[in-house]
Amino acid sequence: MSKDIKTINLKEGSFPIKMNLIYEDIDLQNIGRIKDSISGKIVITLISKELFRCEGSINSVFIDNCQSCLKEIQVNLSFFSNLVIKDKSVMMDDDSNQDQTHYQNLEYFDIKQLIQEEVSLNYPNIVKCDENCLEIKSLEKAEKNLPFKKIRDLID
């Protein structure tokens, strides 16, 4: 399938549905901006009536700011998604206790919405340029702010 997929009807058709997706304009809030595009290789299979499995890899590169020093950094996002798809009409009655369940209208299934949610869920909560970003900066600052160091060294 092409990269221009908007909606598909999961209640009709043959399975598995294999898709190679590319999204350049995706609505993601509170995370960095997309550097190039979001690409995915997704396979949707039929488990039983109105129960589907979605598996595949999603990759992208984002530009974000370090939460410690605000330096602009690159965030590489690459993950494997494995989840169950159910109709949104059963969401309130579903007692299966599955963590990885995506609810949506199966007749007008929006694959882009699924990708957006998976990217948002897998984006790192804390974005830092280095694990010890603030510690490194404070050590550099402490070494630079030693007035009269040579005089102190002579006295000792």
12 contacts: CB under 8 Å, gap ≥ 6: none
Please indicate, yes or no, if residue 116 is contained in any of the structural domains: yes
* 145 assigned to some structural domain: no
Q: Which of 63, 67, 66, 49 is nearest to 11 (CA)?
A: 49
25 has pLDDT over 50: yes
Say if 94 falls within a structural domain: yes
Domain presence at residue 154: no
pLDDT at 111: 92
Tell me what the mean pLDDT of segment 27-42 comes to. 87
For 42-95, write each residue's pLDDT tens digit.
999 999 888 999 999 999 999 999 988 889 999 999 999 999 998 888 877 766
Q: Look at the chain and report how many structural domains it folds into.
A: 1
Position 123 scores a pLDDT of 92
* Within a domain: 42: yes
Any domain includes 15? yes
> Helices (H), strands (E): how many in the chain?
3, 7
More confident residue, 149 or 129: 129
Matching residue, tokens 């060294």: 153
- Which residue segment(s) compose the domain that 110 sits in? 7-131
Q: Would 136 be classed as within a structural domain? A: no
91-141 confidence digits (pLDDT tens): 777 666 666 888 899 999 999 999 999 999 999 988 988 878 776 555 455
pLDDT of residue 1 exceeding 50, the answer is no
In a domain, 122, yes or no: yes
